[in-house]
Homo-oligomer: A and B are copies of this chain.
């Protein structure tokens, strides 16, 4: 469980670069619900996830949220270091969805290496491209998918992440993930329950007919 085996392009770094990073990294343990990065102003450093789960989301002026992407073990979070790219002009918030442990690579160290290392620059570029792909997917979802499809797809994804059909999640949380309102989500879930696809209880949603939910989300 050491950094060397977790950092995806460790073997492409020079010995000097490896030493620089190893001498600078720190670890950070946070509880579920902790905000690790808030907007573009602070420049916390790159996170490499050891264990846990992070959620990156944007906030409207009225405080509404929408999830842009989620990060799991071995993922690298670039936007907690967004100050290092002048072309990044949006504010993203990063929150722990589960108890999480991350390695933090200081911005100055990563930036210094990236400037001269083609492997690190290309790795960064691929990370950026995959976040862009997620943003494009989200645009398609918001514009062209109806809310019932989006809610059913979210529940199915959640069941995969949690490896359980019984999800401990509030209607408010779902609304924050998909950029909707709690009342709207509650109405939709009650409709799903009426159709026999889910069973609702306090703070939990159980998927009772996965196939039907899947047909709806397709």
Contact = CB atoms under 8 A, between A and B. Distances in A.
A54 interface: no
Contacts of A64: 143-144
A177 to B, nearest CB: 12
A129 interface: yes
B87 A126 contact: yes
Given A58-B140, A142-B142, A128 B132 contact: yes
A136 B68 contact: yes
Interface string A99-123: 0000000000000001111101110
Interface residues of A, number: 42
Contacts of A143: 60, 64, 66, 142, 179
A147 interface: no
Given A60-B140, A90-B137, A139-B135, A118 B114 contact: yes
Q: Which of A62, A66, A116, A121 is packed against the most chain B CB atoms within 10 Å? A: A121
Interface string A135-170: 111111011100000000000000000000000000
Nearest to A82: B129
Contacts of A86: 126
A117 B120 CA distance: 11
Given A137-B90, A139-B139, A85 B144 contact: no
Query: Can you list the 3 inter-chain pairs with the closest CB atoms, starting with the nearest?
Result: A121-B121, A87-B130, A87-B129
Interface of A: 58, 60-62, 64, 66, 68, 85-90, 92, 114-118, 120-122, 124-133, 135-140, 142-144, 179
